[in-house]
Amino acid sequence: MGVIMPYGAAIREALASNDLAQMQAIAEQAKQTLKEQGDLAGALLELLAAIETLENEK
């Protein structure tokens, strides 16, 4: 499994910095990550449902 960057934390840090260049760089990285990941929220919901199903089989 690859490393997952903490984009929520990075975004909050960029906001707190009030540094336009940093904010723009983080925004571009986050957009690229979203593009590569696709529907991460939907995939997580599917994973949680599969986990729940397996836990209920025990």
Residue 32: the pLDDT is 87
More confident residue, 5 or 58: 58
Helix, strand, coil shares, percent, the chain, to 5: 80, 0, 20
CA distance linking residue 58 with residue 56, whole number of Å: 5
B/e letters for 16-53, b = 16+ CB within 10 Å, e = fewer, are: eeeeeeeeeebeeebeeeeeeeeeeeeeeeeeeeeeee
Note the pLDDT tens digit of each residue in 4-57.
Answer: 566 788 899 999 999 999 999 989 988 888 888 888 888 889 999 999 999 999
Question: What is the enclosing helix (H) or strand (E) of 4?
Answer: none
